[in-house]
Amino acid sequence: MTEMMLDIRNLKVSIPTDRGLLNAVRGVDLQIAKGETLCLVGESGCGKSLTATSIMGLLPRYAKVTSDRFEMVGQDLTTKTDAKLAKLRGRDVAMIFQDPTSALNPTLTIGRQLTEGVMRHEKLSRSEAEARAIEMLDRVGIANPAARLTQYPHGFSGGQRQRIMIASALMGRPKLLIADEPTTALDVTIQSQILTLLGELQADLGLSLLLITHDLGVVAAIANDVAVMYAGRIAERAPVAGLFAAPRHPYTKGLLAAIPVPGVTPRGSELPAIPGRVPGLIGALRGCAFRDRCAIAGAECAHDPVPRISAAQGQFIECVKAGEVTA
């Protein structure tokens, strides 16, 4: 049995709004094994970022979060307390965000921002913490790290700032790293450098990585396993090769077909777009959330609950018509 770094069952996040309760995450199951990279992919508003933020316990108090099981790096957090989570954050679990420019404080030196967490959590002295900061900056490819500790974020390029964010996340020697769109704000040449770095770190340090993205190119490049999210639920989970070679959920199929691929999609041809739009998530939603946009939907798709068809190693797909999809 592989060791699970993250095991969440039936995670639900609801947010009260003027128009009623917004059920943004509607029962998500996520398991990540030690050393595994899971990509959580989906379109805006599908709940992928909320899932990540709720794992970190960073949601505002008015958000209602429930789950049947919540285990992280070997600790049961089902009845989690803020104090318990705060201990994990910045040590065993760390998170990096999309925009390094807004995640770094422009008025503090890099050294101060990197060392703050470990000095508090691990009670390291300033010099010990600085030594580790230098080690981590070096690890993420910042040249001459000792001299750069005294510099402010504006002295670094966008790609370097994201490297600093990663170094900062590594300071507590985490076992699980959550990255929310870590390369979306970066240029493509920088993007592949950062993804390469994440891959190396993962292999060297045995990190488990939960990477959230909307970019299927990123998924293909870095994931072991993929979870495709739609309207607050995971529609399909599969190993990366299988998902791209033979997607089974109609939504996954639609997504993959909608991307033009140079050299494959005939130039100027009409792309098979998914018609319609994502359903509103305020109030109750019955049956399959994708059925209004699905080409093969039938009357049975309106029934609750949508059956889950499981296969080996945690793979599954939630679709009552799954048999017909593969045909």
Q: Is the dihedral of CA 146, 100, 213, 189 positive or negative?
A: negative
**Amino acid residing at 84:** K
d(CA 153, CA 36): 31
Between 220 and 309, CB nearer to other proteins: 220
Closest separation between CB of residue 282 and other proteins, Å?
A: 14
Q: DSSP secondary-structure letter at 140?
A: T
Between 31 and 160, CB nearer to other proteins: 160
Between 157 and 326, CB nearer to other proteins: 157
The closest alpha carbon to 230, from 251, 212, 213, 259, belongs to 251
- Positions touching other proteins (CB under 8 A) are 43-44, 141, 143, 157-160, 187-193, 195-196, 199, 214-223, 240-241, 244, 254-256, 258-263, 265, 267-275, 277-278
Q: Give the relative orientation of helices 126-139 and 110-121 as an angle to the nearest 10 degrees.
A: 120
Between 73 and 294, CB nearer to other proteins: 294
Between 77 and 226, CB nearer to other proteins: 226
Between 58 and 146, CB nearer to other proteins: 146
Between 91 and 291, CB nearer to other proteins: 291
Closest separation between CB of residue 258 and other proteins, Å?
A: 4
Closest separation between CB of residue 42 and other proteins, Å?
A: 9
For residue 283, the tally of other CB atoms under 10 A from its CB is 10
φ/ψ of 92, rounded to 5, equals: -75, -25
Closest separation between CB of residue 118 and other proteins, Å?
A: 26
Closest separation between CB of residue 271 and other proteins, Å?
A: 4
The closest alpha carbon to 133, from 121, 148, 153, 120, belongs to 148
Between 48 and 91, CB nearer to other proteins: 48
The closest alpha carbon to 166, from 93, 89, 87, 94, belongs to 94
Name the 3-class secondary structure at 19: coil
Name the pairing type of β-strands 4-17 and 69-72: antiparallel
d(CA 39, CA 258): 19
Q: Give the relative orientation of helices 188-205 and 158-170 as an angle to the nearest 10 degrees.
A: 20
Residue 325 half-sphere exposure, CB side, CA atoms within 13 Å?
21
Closest separation between CB of residue 17 and other proteins, Å?
A: 14
Closest separation between CB of residue 297 and other proteins, Å?
A: 16
Closest separation between CB of residue 217 and other proteins, Å?
A: 3
Name the pairing type of β-strands 316-318 and 75-76: unpaired
